[in-house]
Amino acid sequence: MPKRTDHNQPEIVAALRKVGASVQHLSSVGRGCPDLLVGFRQTNYLLEIKNTNGYNKLTPDEIRWLESWSGQAIVVRSVEEALAAIGAYGEML
């Protein structure tokens, strides 16, 4: 089954790129892996994107992945949350 993309993902990706972040989609990895790998100011971030309305809960695979990951992964639901997660909030304002 193909992975469904959250409706706010294109807007979040555009905002991240606008502040100078590199963005790699990870949807083809599957099995609960976060949606995006983001590079910003020499630091990598894993972002799981969820909608602000409708279906916005983590799947069982996503929960297992996040619980087993020894690094940092952040769930975001908006442009503001994504920018804050990488330390760039306010740069687009």
Residue that has been written with the tokens 């807007």 in this structure: 11
Structural domains for the chain:
9-85 (3.40.1350.10)
CB-CB contact of 23 with 13 (8 Å): yes
pLDDT digit string (tens) for 43-62?
999 999 998 775 678 999 99
User: How many Cα atoms are found within 13 Å in the side-chain-facing hemisphere of 4?
Assistant: 8
pTM check: above 0.85: yes
Percentage of residues in the chain with pLDDT exceeding 70?
91
Sheet with 36-40, strands from edge to edge, namely 22-25, 36-40, 43-49, 74-76
- pLDDT of residue 1 exceeding 50, the answer is no
Q: What whole-number distance in Å separates Cα of residue 35 and Cα of residue 58?
A: 12
